[in-house]
Structure 1
Amino acid sequence: MVRRKPEEIQEIKKRLLEHYPQAHTELNYKNLYQLLVAVMLSAQCTDKRVNLITPDLFKKYPNVHALAQADIDELKELIKSCSFFNNKAKNLIKMAQMVEEKYGGKIPEDEKELVKLPGVGQKTAHVVMIEYFGKNLMAVDTHVFRVAHRLRLSDAKTREGVEKDLVQAFKTDLAAIHQAMVLFGRYICTAKNPKCDQCFLYDLCDSEDKRPLKDS
């Protein structure tokens, strides 16, 4: 795959930032604890579904201490409409217990420490660091992965590879670009039937998924 020219990358960056100013996650949260739990639940699950689950979840388990003492079956019942709820329930409790035991009940604010928590991989840690702290990091979910390939920003086969390519391509404003690419992929550059007639990057796209515009 022929990669983008530097001027094309800058144009893509410019349009993404202009089209999605002050973009942020669509997950509902009030603090770092709630954000981390919501992001953990969102893996292979929609933000919309997570937002339906978390009000009751946070009411029953309002903090790390409460979650660390949660009954596994009761927690599973609360999150059962979420994909992979069995594993997520186990990881949520283990995460909270580790935060209690190793970090004095305070969720670490450092990426290297975050990824040590059960159920928290690099992507989850980066999403939290991007959203809560505005760190200059890139996180690659299914939307960012798809958009990066369609716009010829990466041809890597793994999320880690795509992340590396995007960081190298954009360098700065990574947090804002991540949020913008998520929203762009979720609502315009969709997996099926992309809304090319609404696309502000149409002229820069030569993806095989690109759809011809209807005559006006």
Structure 2
Amino acid sequence: MEEPQNGDANSMAPDGEEEPMVGPGPAPRARPKRPLQFEKAYLDSLPSANMYEKSYMHRDVVTHVAVSAADFFITGSIDGHLKFWKKKAIGIEFAKHFRSHLGPIEGLAVSSDGLLCCTISNDHSVKIYDVVNYDMMVMLRVPFVPGTVEWVYKQGEVKAKLAISDRNSSFVHIYDARAGSNEPINSKEVHLGPVKVVKYNPVFDTVISVDTKGIIEYWSPTTLQFPESE
């Protein structure tokens, strides 16, 4: 009788029994992928422009954008949030975030020297910020609902004059932001109706404003009257 080739005969499995499996078993069957609802809509919403790089977001709709001469720009949204961004050689960098108002930001202005920023809302508050240091300097409480806001001072002036219009009257009020007082240093009815737009020209130290009737006025930020010369 021939001897078994692979070791002792006692090591062979008895008839009718399988040898135990050695090594990894078969791979589990992959579960079928669930189809994503509205997958095509999601894919169509992905940005595909040739120049697209990156998105910078607010929590709600952005309503105001202002650029500062100090290499910053500031954005405000309808939920009262304010964000400072630093301009870089390539792209931008997030700098600071404020909850400026409980309601929507309804006016945003940056001074001509780029150092001061201001926001207004319908909560009768005016917030003033130091742009370079990302800090809130002053909060003013005004007895009227602000309509529009604009910085009306030249670089180097002692008083940082801020013009704020009354939404429900034809008055324009001038405040000194550095003084931090809630009392205006000058007030006058510049128009015959509520002022909607105010823009300052630092070269000629002149303010141009437009009211709800479409009337344009030129006036000095010091006297709130038509400039006498220049």
Q: Same fold (TM over 0.5)?
A: no
Say which structure is richer in strand.
Answer: 2
Q: TM-score range by the shorter chain?
A: under 0.3
Using CA pairs under 8 Å that are at least 6 residues apart, name the structure with larger relative contact order, 1 or 2: 1
Q: TM-score, normalised by structure 2?
A: 0.26
Kindly name which structure, 1 or 2, has the bigger radius of gyration based on alpha carbons: 2
